[in-house]
Amino acid sequence: MAVDTPRGLYAPTIRNVDKKTAVEVEAELRALAEKAVKGTITLNELAGHGFTVSNLGHLGVTHFTPIINPPDIAILGVGAIKNTGDRHRGYLTLVFDHRAADGAPAARFLEEIRHQLESLDGG
């Protein structure tokens, strides 16, 4: 997750995310984000990631195209979630390096995210 700090943008690394619960990931992300903002984050805590999530939704931005930062192979842009009356709607933008992944698996990845989010919303 990209973190905006007074010293610029940082992308802390959450390791072994596939073996952690959502609650564990959130707690680790909050701790790393706090360290980034305070300026106490280490190089080891910033190194080794291959995928970044950039959330501008909290700033009211609904659509944007994030830029991949090497050595990442992909970045997911998360826009603001709006209540449209019948349900909550938001926009996700996946930018990926075609040298590392094809379009169809990337589309299936986005579809799985949509499915997971809709199941939380009762949709």
Per-residue pLDDT of 20-34, as tens digits, reads 998 999 999 999 999
Q: How confident is the model at residue 42 (pLDDT cuts 50, 70, 90)?
A: very high
Is 72 known to be catalytic? no
pTM of the model: 0.86
Q: Domain ranges in the chain? A: 1-49, 50-123
Active site includes 102? yes
When pLDDT is cut at 50, 70 and 90, the band that residue 122 belongs to is: low
Indicate which residue of 72, 102, 115, 121 is catalytic: 102
- Active-site residue (options: 86, 97, 98, 115): 98
Q: Which residues of 16-34 are buried (b: 16+ CB within 10 A; e: fewer)?
A: eeeeeeeeeeeebbeebbe
